[in-house]
Amino acid sequence: MNDEKLIDNLIQTDSLIWAHVKGLNLRDGVKFTLQGCRYLFDIIDCDKKIVNCKKGAQMCLTTAIFIRAVHRCKYRKYNQNILYMMPSVNAVERLSKVSFDPIFQYNPWIMRSGDTNTTFCREINGRSIVMVGARPSKVGTSNTKDTDNLRSIPCDEVDRDELDLMDMDMVYQSKQRLKRSLFGIEMNFSSPTYPDYGIDKCYEESDKRKWQIKCRSCGKHTCLGDSFPKSIISKEGRWFRSCDYCHKEIFVDDGMWVAEHPDRREAGFWVSGLLSPLADLDEYMYQYHNIEGAQMSEFMRSTLGIATTESENQLDETVVLSRKTANENLSTYSGETVMGVDIGKVIHVVVGIRTGRESYDILNISRLKDLHELHDLANRMNVHHAVIDSGPHDHGVREFQRTEPYTVSLCQYSEQMPGKPLFKDGMVKCNRNEWCDKVHATFTDNHITIPRVSPEINEYARQMTRTAKQIINHPDTGMPRPRWIKLGDDHFYHSTLYFLLAASRSSPRQRGVVNINRPTHSINNWR
């Protein structure tokens, strides 16, 4: 009797044991099993409210988190709903059809008579799992993003599946659904894409738990992901997981999660594909030794759960700094220049000249406090045309545009507009992806120079690496398309883009050639 009570208690408190004991069917003829999946328990029953999992593909984590959601509804662990987010509505429909619908189809006992079971809402015992696509839309003609999918849904838990493919503004908006919750649980899980972005950033800021496997021979611990590829060795034609110290075979089920920073408020789990009981180590090592470039990056992300990037998708500091010259970062210049400006709490400025059809010389890189300083710099650098960030907030830019003695165009990005930028009525509209491509190509093709190294130039180089191109499938058409994403402070990347836009309106000239046709009206308006 005591054993029956213990099992019943475990069934009600632990979702994975519940699924195992009940023989939960994942699809026709396939039952849920805990075999080889000990690494899931601490993730699913974590002691912290916010859990971040960077993972390899097909690690059973998505299934385990959904099973937990079903279990928490069935046993009324929460007072409100569970919000399950994916990057788009189409992604919700695909995942539901392939992975979630069969769970209810082949386990009819989960739901009671009268419960709701649709693609976007699973009501179980009076509690609901609400499935939403987090694709935003613009509000009116503004740059404000919103989606009605994340409005008016009170929640006790938010599960974010494939975090790296979501709009980060929508991720933040989903947090607002927890404001009246007594629980406030957040689960973020995704295969990583770029370093210091999305799930990789969340993991790096978390307590950073790693699966440390104890060796049965020497008693020491190995993290397979940290030690790869040395942690996978071959003997007698078979690849196996190896102890870092004695090189004997080790076994995933002998591991435990160990946090590098246990005092941090958020939990983080690195679920490498090397932990999977179905990992084909022979195939993994063949791929590792025989692929390169974009395929190697995808292997690192999807198999090892390691964020990485290809050189064609992101600048690195070495490339940016290789464009340096012996020239100082100028504060005055007598020749005619153009200027790109990114507006924010700090104003980021790039001033230079176009020296050829597709070549450029940056003369000044600055961070300024306000528009008064920007006016003074433009005057000293003899700026004749500037392109300035138009929003989302004005910050006095329109008044600045009206009173400056040279041409100022305010830039608006578009994701759809093809072809050449359109300069009209004090505005310039351009395709964001195409011009981010242009910034990248200008540096990688060695068509630009920058001033010699200094603290300001080092900061410029760092920020130029904080934007990267991600190739995603359009959620409606399925067609691949590029999307440049923000990895951190990337203000200089955009001020460089605005500089190139301004330069497209100027004629090529050599450094030091003086043009005395300097506009003079309104010169003191910003003093």
The identity of residue 472, as a single letter, is I
Q: How far is CA 29 from the centre of its chain?
A: 37
Query: Given 1.10.260.40, 3.30.1360.200, 3.40.50.300, 3.40.50.1700, which CATH number is that of 2-34+58-190?
Result: 3.40.50.300
SS3 176: helix
- With CA atoms as reference, report the closest residue to 171 among 87, 264, 91: 87
190, with CB counted inside 10 A (0-12, 13-18, 19+), is buried
Q: pLDDT at position 517, please?
A: 55
Residues of the chain with pLDDT under 70: 1, 136-151, 311, 392-395, 472-480, 512-527
Residue 323 in tokens: 């464009």
Query: What was the pLDDT predicted at 313?
Result: 86
317-503 matches 2-34+58-190 in CATH topology: no
pLDDT of residue 512: 66
Q: What pLDDT shows up at residue 473?
A: 60
How many C-beta atoms lie closer than 10 Å to residue 231's C-beta? 21
pTM of this structure: 0.74
* Neighbour tally for 214: CB within 10 Å: 15
Please state which CATH number belongs to domain 317-503.
3.30.420.240
Confidence at residue 480, expressed as pLDDT on a 0 to 100 scale: 65
Domain limits, the chain = 2-34+58-190, 317-503
Give dist(CA 265, CA 149) in Å, integer.
Answer: 29
Give the three-class secondary structure for 28. Answer: coil
Cβ contact 520:503 at 8 Å: no
The confidence score (pLDDT) of residue 419 equals 79
**CA distance to 58, 282, 401, 407, 421, per residue, from 427 (Å):** 47, 57, 10, 11, 10
pLDDT of residue 146: 46
pLDDT computed for residue 459 by the predictor: 97
**pLDDT at residue 522, as a whole number:** 46
Do 527 and 350 contact (CB within 8 A), yes or no?
A: no
